[in-house]
């Protein structure tokens, strides 16, 4: 879908302007492909929490029921005789995931959960030595990443206090300057084994310059991985061309695959075909030609590419919702989604700027290239009272201590008039506080 019919307007604060944007939105019809939650009064909620859990596509139920029926009617034969055979079901997700990740199909696989995949990747890509043992992470990384990284450092016999290197923004600032990260790599790179950052920070919503960071880290001899939980399906990615070593993600946020959905993994092809690379192995990562030889060939021979890191059978009932969502991404196109995302967040930023100074402060970068769908807003209005006031108007967002509310207008299903209503609600809360 071409975004050319949806050029950037000069923003205006009236509801009619927001309505006109919706009328000209070439992606507007995709909202009808999702279940929109309703409040106790029966009205559709204004849902800005797609950064935590995406909404359910209408087609999910049919695909899941189809697999339940196959199980009921065919049982074990469903592995090869289903309408979509279970044996290679995961490969139905490969092409669309590769498109979103900016990868070659052999470099991606849907499997496990994010943190499980991170541990598997750290087994292969964190190979500390006495001289080079640090893992560089960002301040305020998602807690599960921190737990995984510290536990891997300790498992390898190093002290997390010295090997868990946390990069922090400048004093008095809340987001990172790319040049500071590059300078840190220049100064300490010889001690860093692995750079592992969030593609988009979950708290601030800042999107990192993954290409430049990867280039700088590789120049220092470091390996590079990213947590793309808040980036995939949100930001354009080119993992292969950037030379990223590995990446992991979940699928229940912007990829709309449901609570606890199957995660995903990227392994650059220069590593994916290296059978000697250390890894934890499972039978589904074995070469498919040998997978069912079982006891006849007891030695593990990894499948080429990212599939060689699989452990177990594809979780069909978890993959079906992701399949439904990825079909919508294929129809919409990431270019068009990204343009609408810029407009949605830009419009919210504009409306917040019209509220009397001091009530709210956006901590997400103002540069659209350094953010995705999410704006994180520090509030002087008591945050829990503010959240309750929003909820009373059917607006769903979330609160993070100590004073930050996160709003994520998602281009697949959010409308500009919803952003306008959020702006009005925030203005009213500031005026009455």
Question: CA of 217: how far to CAs of 14, 78, 99, 211, 221, in Å?
Answer: 47, 46, 25, 10, 6
Q: From 295, 329, 363, give the residue that closes a domain.
A: 329
pLDDT by residue (tens digit) across 48-70?
A: 999 999 999 999 999 999 999 99
Give me the CATH number covering residue 84: 3.40.640.10
Q: Which residues of 36-46 are buried (b: 16+ CB within 10 A; e: fewer)?
A: eeeeeeeeebb
Angle between helices 15-23 and 334-353 (to 10 degrees): 180
Judgement on whether residues 101 and 238 belong to the same structural domain of the protein:
yes
In a domain, 42, yes or no: no
In a domain, 113, yes or no: yes
- Give yes or no for a contact between 429 and 381, defined as CB atoms under 8 angstroms apart: yes
Q: Token digits for 184?
A: 């840190």
In a domain, 282, yes or no: yes
Judgement on whether residues 324 and 401 belong to the same structural domain of the protein:
no
- What residues contact 378, with CB distance under 8 A and at least 6 apart? 360, 361, 362, 363, 403, 404
Judgement on whether residues 138 and 247 belong to the same structural domain of the protein:
yes
pLDDT by residue (tens digit) across 353-390?
A: 999 888 999 999 999 999 999 999 999 999 999 999 99
Judgement on whether residues 95 and 237 belong to the same structural domain of the protein:
yes
HSE (side-chain half, CA atoms, 13 Å) at 148:
22
Judgement on whether residues 273 and 373 belong to the same structural domain of the protein:
no
> What pLDDT is attached to residue 210?
98
- How far is 22 from 28, CA to CA, in rounded Å? 7
In a domain, 8, yes or no: no
Judgement on whether residues 320 and 367 belong to the same structural domain of the protein:
no
In a domain, 57, yes or no: no
φ, ψ of residue 126 to 5 degrees: the values are: -105, 100
DSSP alpha helix (H) spans, 296-353: 316-332, 334-353
Give SS3 for 21: helix
Q: From 329, 355, 385, give the residue that closes a domain.
A: 329
- How far is 292 from 281, CA to CA, in rounded Å? 15
Judgement on whether residues 76 and 202 belong to the same structural domain of the protein:
yes
In a domain, 9, yes or no: no
Q: Token digits for 188?
A: 């300490």
pLDDT surpassing 80 at residue 5? no
pLDDT surpassing 90 at residue 217? yes
pLDDT by residue (tens digit) across 21-32?
A: 999 999 999 999
The DSSP symbol for 204 reads T
Give me the CATH number covering residue 343: 3.90.1150.10
Judgement on whether residues 386 and 324 belong to the same structural domain of the protein:
no
- How far is 129 from 138, CA to CA, in rounded Å? 22
In a domain, 404, yes or no: yes
Judgement on whether residues 133 and 251 belong to the same structural domain of the protein:
yes
- Give yes or no for a contact between 398 and 50, defined as CB atoms under 8 angstroms apart: no
Q: Give the domain extent around 101.
A: 65-329
Work out the percent of the chain whose per-residue pLDDT is above 90. 94
Q: From 304, 329, 354, give the residue that closes a domain.
A: 329
Give SS3 for 407: strand
- How far is 284 from 359, CA to CA, in rounded Å? 54
CA nearest to 192, candidates 223, 149, 158: 223
Q: What is the dihedral of CA 274, 275, 281, 287, to 10 degrees?
A: 110
> What pLDDT is attached to residue 74?
97
290/214: higher pLDDT? 214
| Band of residue 148 on the pLDDT scale cut at 50, 70, 90 | very high
- How far is 315 from 296, CA to CA, in rounded Å? 26
- In this prediction, residues 343-355 reach a mean pLDDT of 96
- In this prediction, residues 98-121 reach a mean pLDDT of 98
> What pLDDT is attached to residue 3?
34
| Band of residue 8 on the pLDDT scale cut at 50, 70, 90 | low
φ, ψ of residue 264 to 5 degrees: the values are: -145, 165
Q: What is the dihedral of CA 386, 256, 373, 362, to 10 degrees?
A: 30
Give SS3 for 171: coil
Question: CA of 238: how far to CAs of 106, 124, 210, 277, 289, in Å?
Answer: 14, 22, 9, 24, 31
In a domain, 60, yes or no: no
User: What is the number of domains present in the chain?
Assistant: 2
**Strand duo 164-167 + 134-138: pairing:** parallel
| Band of residue 4 on the pLDDT scale cut at 50, 70, 90 | very low
Judgement on whether residues 222 and 138 belong to the same structural domain of the protein:
yes
Judgement on whether residues 113 and 145 belong to the same structural domain of the protein:
yes
Judgement on whether residues 322 and 338 belong to the same structural domain of the protein:
no
- What residues contact 272, with CB distance under 8 A and at least 6 apart? 106, 107, 304, 305, 306, 308
> What pLDDT is attached to residue 9?
63
pLDDT surpassing 60 at residue 137? yes
> What pLDDT is attached to residue 294?
72
Residue 247 belongs to what H/E stretch? Answer: strand 246-249
């Amino acid at each position: 879908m071409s975004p050319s019919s949806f050029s950037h307007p000069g923003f205006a604060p009236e509801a009619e302007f927001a309505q006109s944007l919706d009328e000209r939105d070439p992606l507007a019809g995709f909202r009808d492909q999702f279940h929109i939650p309703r409040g106790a009064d029966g009205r559709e909620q204004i849902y800005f929490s797609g950064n935590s859990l995406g909404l359910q596509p209408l087609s999910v139920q049919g695909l899941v029921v189809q697999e339940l029926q196959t199980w009921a009617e065919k049982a074990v034969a469903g592995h090869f005789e289903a309408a979509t055979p279970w044996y290679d079901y995961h490969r139905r997700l490969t092409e669309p995931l590769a498109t979103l990740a900016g990868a070659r199909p052999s470099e991606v696989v849907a499997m496990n959960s994010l943190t499980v995949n991170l541990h598997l990747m750290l087994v292969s890509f964190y190979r500390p030595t006495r001289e080079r043992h640090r893992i560089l992470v960002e301040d305020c990384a998602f807690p599960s990443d921190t737990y995984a990284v510290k536990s891997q450092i300790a498992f390898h016999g190093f002290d997390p206090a010295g090997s868990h290197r946390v990069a922090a923004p400048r004093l008095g600032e809340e987001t990172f300057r790319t040049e500071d990260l590059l300078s840190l790599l220049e100064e300490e790179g010889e001690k860093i084994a692995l750079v592992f950052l969030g593609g988009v920070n979950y708290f601030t919503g800042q999107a990192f310059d993954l290409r430049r960071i990867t280039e700088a880290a590789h120049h220092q001899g470091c390996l590079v991985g990213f947590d793309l939980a808040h980036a995939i399906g949100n930001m354009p990615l080119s993992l292969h061309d950037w030379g990223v070593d590995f990446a992991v993600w979940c699928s229940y946020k912007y990829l709309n695959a449901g609570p606890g959905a199957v995660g995903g993994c990227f392994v650059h092809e220069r590593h994916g075909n290296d059978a000697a690379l250390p890894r934890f192995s499972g039978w589904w990562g074995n070469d498919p030609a040998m997978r069912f030889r079982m006891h006849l060939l007891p030695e593990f021979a990894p499948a080429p590419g990212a599939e060689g890191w699989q452990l177990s059978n594809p979780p069909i009932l978890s993959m079906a919702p992701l399949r439904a969502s990825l079909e919508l991404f294929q129809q919409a196109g990431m270019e068009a989604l990204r343009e609408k995302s810029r407009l949605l967040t830009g419009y919210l930023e504009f409306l917040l700027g019209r509220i009397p100074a001091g009530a709210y402060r956006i901590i997400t970068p103002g540069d659209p290239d350094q953010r995705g769908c999410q704006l994180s807003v520090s509030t002087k209005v008591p945050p829990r009272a503010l959240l309750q006031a929003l909820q009373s108007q059917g607006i769903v967002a979330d609160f993070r201590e100590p004073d930050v509310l996160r709003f994520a207008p998602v281009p697949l299903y959010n409308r500009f008039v919803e952003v306008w209503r959020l702006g009005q609600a925030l203005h009213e809360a500031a005026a009455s506080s």
